[in-house]
Amino acid sequence: MALYTCKLGASDGKILYRDFEASEGGVLRKNLEDQGFFVFEVKKKPFQFLFDKGIKRRKIDNKALLTFNQEMLVLIKAGMPIMQVLDTILERHDSGKLSEILLQVREDVKGGAALSVAMEKHGRAFPYLYVASIRAGERTGDLPRTIRRYIQYLKRVDSIRKKVVAALFYPAILVFFAFLAVMLLLVYVVPIFSQVYADSGSQLPVLTQLLISFTHLLRRYFFIGVILIAGLVAAFRSWRNTEAGRYTVDRFKLTMPYAGEVFTKYSVAGFTRTLATVLGSGIPIIESLRMSIGTLNNVYMEKRLFEAVRFIEEGGRLSVGLERINIMPPLALRMLGVGETTGSLEDMLIDISDYLEDELEERLHLLTTAVEPAIMLVMGVVIGVIIVAMYLPIFKLGGTIG
Region 9-16: what's the mean pLDDT? 70
Condensed to tens digits (0 to 9), the pLDDT of residues 39-55 reads 888 887 765 444 444 44
The pLDDT value recorded for residue 94 is 62
Q: Please state, in angstroms and rounded to a whole number, the distance separating the CA atoms of residues 96 and 305.
A: 38
SS3 state of residue 7: strand
Half-sphere exposure (Cβ direction) of 240: Cα atoms closer than 13 Å: 14
The pLDDT value recorded for residue 49 is 44
Q: Please state, in angstroms and rounded to a whole number, the distance separating the CA atoms of residues 310 and 330.
A: 21
Q: Please state, in angstroms and rounded to a whole number, the distance separating the CA atoms of residues 23 and 2.
A: 6
Q: Which amino acid makes up residue 49? A: F
Condensed to tens digits (0 to 9), the pLDDT of residues 284-323 reads 888 888 878 777 878 888 888 888 888 988 888 888 988 8
Burial of 29 (0-12, 13-18, 19+ CB in 10 A): middle
Cβ-based neighbours of 28, under 8 Å, separated by 6 or more: 4, 6, 20, 22, 42
Q: Give residue 233's pLDDT band: very low, low, confident or very high (50, 70, 90).
A: very high
Q: Give residue 13's pLDDT band: very low, low, confident or very high (50, 70, 90).
A: low
The pLDDT value recorded for residue 402 is 47
Q: Which amino acid makes up residue 390? A: M
Element (H, E) at 41: strand 38-44
Of the given ranges (20-29, 134-143, 178-187, 228-237), which has the lowest mean pLDDT? 20-29
The pLDDT value recorded for residue 227 is 93
Highest mean pLDDT among 11-20, 185-194, 302-311: 302-311
Q: Is the pLDDT of residue 17 over 80?
A: no
On average, the pLDDT of the chain sits at 82
Q: Give residue 57's pLDDT band: very low, low, confident or very high (50, 70, 90).
A: very low
Half-sphere exposure (Cβ direction) of 100: Cα atoms closer than 13 Å: 8
Q: Is the pLDDT of residue 59 over 80?
A: no
In the chain, the percentage of residues whose pLDDT exceeds 90 is 4
Of the given ranges (48-57, 83-92, 262-271), which has the lowest mean pLDDT? 48-57
Q: What angle do CA 254, 339, 160 make, to 5 degrees?
A: 45
Number of helices (H), then strands (E), in the chain: 18, 3
Per residue in 105-143, is it b (16+ CB within 10 Å) or e — as a string?
A: bbebbeeeeebbbbbbbbbbbbbbbbbbbbbbbbeeeeb
In the chain, the percentage of residues whose pLDDT exceeds 70 is 90
Q: Is the pLDDT of residue 374 over 80?
A: yes
Q: What is the pTM of this model?
A: 0.65
- Residue whose C-alpha is closest to residue 359's, from 281, 280, 295, 265: 265
Q: Please state, in angstroms and rounded to a whole number, the distance separating the CA atoms of residues 66 and 28.
A: 25
Of the given ranges (104-108, 147-151, 181-185, 197-201), which has the lowest mean pLDDT? 197-201
Region 347-365: what's the mean pLDDT? 87
